[in-house]
Structure 1
Amino acid sequence: MVKLSCKHCLTANWRSSVALALAVTLISPLAARAEEPDARKLVKAMSDYLSAQKAISFAYDTNFEIVTTEHQKLLLASSGKVEMGRPDKLRVTRTGGFADVEMTFDGKTATVLGKHLNLYTQADLPGTIDHLVDEMRDKLHRPVPGADLLLPNVYDELMRDVVDIKDLGSGVIGGVECDHLAFRTKELDWQLWIAQGEKPYPCRYVITATQVDLGPQYSIQISDWKTGTDVVAEDYSFKNTTDAKKVELEKLVDIDELPDRFAKGDSK
């Protein structure tokens, strides 16, 4: 007979409790059913509030899950800051375990600086922030963190293809009470926590890839939310203060949340 130490007993009891809680969650109906019109109103109010802001800044933390070929989930974490001046100014920083990156946009030129490499690349992308987001994603394959929340038509972008909506009541994110909503499309599940009150900004945004093996998630949590005169106006043009070397985009390796050393496999 094998005896468990107190530490192992606690671990076993904790696992049993979690398993029981998950089982109850899976078989029990939700106490509060979805009220789709009210949920849509909350998202629309958030969208209207965001689009009305001429200047926004916030800090963020992301968690990016990946699934190995051995069916092990790994979590890559990073933090950063977003500063935005509508319609065409943006600065985004992101620091993680593999990269330290800054992207600036002055309305004409987008610059991506790999601080850990002291290398940068530039692309002429004149236009608005929403044009920049599309170009960074589709042509440069460098998506902007939380891009869905930066566009002027947030409601239309988020609600496109939604087939199911649930209002899960309240939740607290970083000490801020939020309305917690869950949505489903044919390919993705996503959840949104929106701050209650006069400033309905997004506090947390979670996307679950339901069509990928084990359903990995990507989440972004927002803090230190500022708008209007609370955002210090800055020059959004690139300043090469470290004498970084300019290179072509393909030479700027290991700057994404998923490092190049992780080989991508097939989805299942």
Structure 2
Amino acid sequence: MKRSIGTAIGLLILSTGFSSQMPAQQPSPEKTDLIDSTAIDALNQMGTYLRGLKDFQVTAAVTSEDVLSDGEKLTYSHTTTVLASSPNKLRIETQGDQKSRLILYDGKKFTFFARRAGYYATVDAPPSIGELIDVASDKYGIELPLLDLFLWGGPRASTNEITEASDFGPADVGGITCEHYAFRQPGLDWQVWIQLGDHPLPKKMVLTTTTDDARPQHTSVLTWNLAPSYNDAAFVFDPPSDAQKIVFAKEKAPATAGSN
């Protein structure tokens, strides 16, 4: 779960371009004093369900804590909305205290628009959302918000780093009955509330960094629409007249042994 939690909601089975290919679930550790296999099973079931969604819209109300050098904590909020259509259409809008961004992908072009700065960059894109996640991260250093939710249960997310997993029973999130699970791994405690019933959607997540004595938290409350209304124009970028086009900076390749 290192990548999907480490960048989670910045969270969690678009790894194959939705339902185009269903990777195998992660094997569940046996139930021990510290790891409850039912909690791991719940993550896998959530991942399988999310990968089967063809079209959806999800809005995350996000609150993050930032720790200053003197230990003081500041709280920032933003809202991110993702509209996705399998296998190759994506619209992500983020609006908040520190940023206002629009990300668009229509199966051919990928655009990142920083509204407040007035800059945008557009590049040719791979043919599926799953491939776009990798290209954006590996080539340009951009983690697409919320899409790490969709890595869980696939080959790029595992339970290997989880040291504790617990089921804390039913809980209410916005009037929806969920099951509350908590997990621990080196450097991170995290919780997820998964909707009970036929639609095991993640409704809330809380991540706590344990490597910092201040233990800053990152909280997301998710609202889902599984039958969104849209047209193809929603995924195509029409730049404002005062926007300035720039070029994406590529991530530097890691140095190899013996290189200067």
When normalised by structure 1's length, the TM-score is 0.73
Residue 66 of structure 2 is matched in structure 1 by 66
Q: Are the structure 2 counterparts of residues 156 and 118 from structure 1 closer, same or farther at C-alpha, using a change threshold of 3 Å?
A: closer
Whichever residue aligns with residue 126 of structure 1, its letter is: P
Report the number of matched residues. Answer: 215
Counterpart secondary structure, 1:61: strand
- For residues 83 and 138 of structure 1, do their structure 2 counterparts lie closer, same or farther at Cα, with a shift above 3 Å needed? same
Q: What is the letter of the counterpart of residue 238 of structure 2?
A: K
* Counterpart for residue 118 of structure 1: 118
Mark the structure with the bigger radius of gyration.
1
Q: Which residue of 1 aligns with 2:252?
A: none
More helix by share: 1
**Bigger mean CA deviation after superposition, 127-136 or 90-99:** 127-136
Match of 1:104 in 2: 104
* Partner secondary structure for residue 191 of structure 2: strand
Residue ranges of structure 1 left out of the alignment (5+ in a row): 1-32, 251-268
Q: How does 1:69-88 map to 2 (within 5 A)?
A: 69-88=69-88
Partner of 1:136 in structure 2? 136
* Partner Cα distance (2:138, 2:219) in 1: 21
State the SS of the aligned residue for 1:149: helix
What aligned pairs does 1:13-32 form with structure 2 within 5 A after superposition? none
What is the CA–CA distance in structure 2 between the aligned matches of 1:154 and 1:205, rounded to whole Å? Answer: 19
Q: What 5-or-longer segments of structure 2 have no aligned partner? A: 1-32, 250-260
Aligned equivalent of 2:229, options 232, 243, 251: 232
- Rounded Cα–Cα distance in structure 2 between residues aligned with 1:159 and 1:109: 34
Partner of 1:204: 204
Secondary structure in 1 matching 2:140: coil
State the Cα deviation string for residues 4-27 of structure 1 (Å, max 9, x = none). Answer: xxxxxxxxxxxxxxxxxxxxxxxx
* Structure 2 CA distance for aligned equivalents of residues 34 and 226 of structure 1: 35
* Distance of 1:147 and 1:191 partners within structure 2: 17
**Shift, 1:206, TM fit:** 1.9
Identity among equivalent pairs (%): 28
Partner amino acid for 2:246? V
Alpha-carbon distance in 1 for matches of 2:222, 2:130: 20
Instruction: Using the TM superposition, give the Cα deviation of residue 70 of structure 1 relative to its aligned residue in structure 2, in angstroms.
Output: 0.7
For residues 43-58 of structure 1, what are the structure 2 equivalents within 5 Å? Answer: 43-58=43-58
